[in-house]
Amino acid sequence: MAYPKDPLKLASQVLGVEVGAPKSQIQYSYYRLMVHHHPDRNHGDPQAHRLAALINEAKDVLMGKETQPSLLQDRGLIAELLRRPVSDEKVLSYEEWLKKRFYSMEQCSIWPC
């Protein structure tokens, strides 16, 4: 598989979003991937820390926080991440995730506490 050289395009491919995606969509995609690839959930996987770091770096590139990505240059690691399936089995839907993140039941408000 050919990967783009542009870090923004590569980061969007890793997270599975468009380059100009809204912040909430980037954060949700990050959440979906981290549910499956976080090192705490994958104790026996020697690549778990590197995959989680790659996902973090891709999110930071798309959010404009990272300008010199290093892990996005590791094509083998990207291929490994993209080969692994991500199911929706343990993941909240986008609407549920938004409610959990932005809706305070105590205050009946959409503003976080």
Other Cβ atoms closer than 10 A to 104? 11
Query: 87 pLDDT exceeds 60?
Result: yes
* DSSP bridge pairs for 104: 109
Which residue ranges form the domains of the chain, and what is each CATH number? 7-102 (1.10.287)
pLDDT for the residue 113: 47
What's the rounded Cα separation, in Å, for the pair 75 and 79? 6
- pLDDT, tens digit, for every residue of 41-84? 888 888 889 999 999 999 999 999 877 888 888 888 888 888 87
Query: For residue 73, what is the DSSP state?
Result: G
pLDDT tens per residue across span 3-13? 667 888 899 99
Is residue 48 within 8 Å of residue 42, measured between CB atoms?
Answer: yes
Written as six digits, the tokens of 20 are: 């100009």
